[in-house]
Amino acid sequence: MDRNQSHRQVATMKQSLFDQGYLDHEQFNQLEELQDDANPNFVEEVVTLYYRDSARLVHSIEQALEKSPIDFNKLDSYMHQFRGSSSSIGAKKVKAECSLFREYCRAGNGEGCMRTFQQVKKEYTALRKKLETFFQLARQAGPVDRARRPK
Amino acid sequence: MARNGVVASQRWRSDGDVSSQQQPPADSVVADEVHVLAVDDSLIDRKVIERLLRNSSYKVTVVDSGVRALQFLGLDGEEKKTSSIGAFDSLKIKVDLIITDYCMPEVTGYDLLKKIKGSSTLREIPVVIMSSENVVTRIDRCLEEGAEDFIVKPVKPSDVARLRGYMATSEPSVRVNKRKQRESCESCSSLSTASSTSSSISSSPSLSPSPPSSASPTPMSISEPSSPSPSPSPPMSQSVSAPCSPSLSEE
């Protein structure tokens, strides 16, 4: 496959991630804009960091949900952080589920929280797989020639 | 990677050509280079803000808490020194702007703002607050306390482009509430807030609208000062266990 085809494949996959609502196009594009010769894999680095960092939050939330009675303030605080990071990488569906979770949290609805958290995890995992594929494709395609932006 | 903790920097004159790509040695800040202190307890957001700022050719110091920011600025108990040989001066740290997250444990962005504005040595440094939550009373509170601006996360390149305008400022004689000014501008322009990236359930408009699919800044020039902001918002109590969940009194 020639370079152009590889790049088109990457672009197509990216567009489909936008179209399916996995990624927020504006936020993700802005992260890509931050890549340059000195930081060619910035987005992948951020995403990797996100999954690593949020793993502990997921764990904390799970533990908090198992307690009785549930400490909704604590839960909300964890989810606030998780939602924030998700937003920063453009994880659109994850962010939406996080917001829903917080609504249940504020309503003191433990059942709702638990149900929604399953959704959060589902979206979180699904996105991870998609992004792994995406970054693999992107690496294979190599850096895009960008004639731009004096540093 | 982000440099957390206390960094003692010294000024030196650079005669050579300092490429903005190249990082100067960790213990120096080049005079004439703009130095931004970024404060955020989120690892992801620190990485992003650092990249955003470096891309704009700023020298960046990133710290992970309000406590560390106070240490860096020499405000952790050293503020009582009013002589010119205060801790801050002796370290010769030049900070041109501070950008801080609002929601942080122990010392919030608001606490940090208050300390900075309450310091005789540091009050001139412009402070910008970031928050993922678009809460009007929170925004007003920060602006009234002296913040230059309030950015709703996620931070965009256009937000960072706007920062340049807050530096090298002389003292404003009248505090302008930028949120109110921006909102009144919005209603008379055709700027669409539908470009907001927020997909959250609360549908309040984004505070920092940017033109769709473009990273160019939307400068808001203050042509004439509006009247001073009205009396401060009622004191709010934030619950101790979750300091940044918007409490009812804040909404």
What are the pLDDT tens digits along chain B (251 aa)? 444 444 444 443 334 444 444 455 554 554 468 999 999 999 999 999 999 999 999 999 999 999 999 999 998 875 444 444 444 554 567 899 999 999 999 999 999 999 999 999 999 999 999 999 999 999 999 999 999 999 999 999 999 999 999 986 544 445 567 777 777 776 665 444 444 443 334 444 444 444 444 444 444 443 344 444 444 444 444 433 344 655 444 44
Of A15-29, A110-124, B200-214, where does mean pLDDT reach its minimum?
A: B200-214
Which chain B residue is nearest to residue A77, measuring alpha carbons? B242
Count of residues in chain B: 251
Cis check: omega of the bond before B24, within 30 degrees of 0: no
State whether residue B45 sits within 8 Å of chain A by CB. Answer: yes
Interface A-B, measured as beta-carbon pairs within 8 A, has a size of 97
Asked if A27 lies within 8 A of B42 by C-beta distance, the reply is no
Nearest to B59 by CA among B90, B84, B28: B28
Using CA atoms, how far apart are residues B158 and B160, in angstroms rounded to an integer? 5
Which chain B residue is nearest to residue A76, measuring alpha carbons? B245
State whether residue B157 sits within 8 Å of chain A by CB. Answer: yes
State whether residue B18 sits within 8 Å of chain A by CB. Answer: no
Asked if B44 lies within 8 A of A89 by C-beta distance, the reply is yes
**B24 DSSP 8-state letter:** P
Which positions in chain A have a beta carbon within 8 angstroms of at least one beta carbon in chain B? 24-27, 29-31, 33-34, 36, 38-39, 42, 45-46, 49-50, 53, 71, 73-74, 76-77, 80-81, 83-85, 87-90, 92, 95-96, 99-100, 103, 106, 151
B90, B228, B238 from B118: Cα distances, Å: 20, 20, 21
Using CA atoms, how far apart are residues B177 and B147, in angstroms rounded to an integer? 10
Tally of CA atoms within 13 A in the half-sphere of B188 that contains its CB: 5
Q: Which of A60, A70, A81, A88 to mutate to test the interface with B (most CBs of B within 10 A)?
A: A88
pLDDT of residue B92: 62
pLDDT of residue B78: 54
- What is the predicted ipTM? 0.90
Spell out the residues 6+ positions from residue A135 whose beta carbon is closer than 8 angstroms to its own.
A43, A44, A47
Sign of CA dihedral A80, A82, A86, A88: positive
E strands present in chain B: 10-12, 28-30, 35-39, 59-63, 97-101, 127-131, 149-152
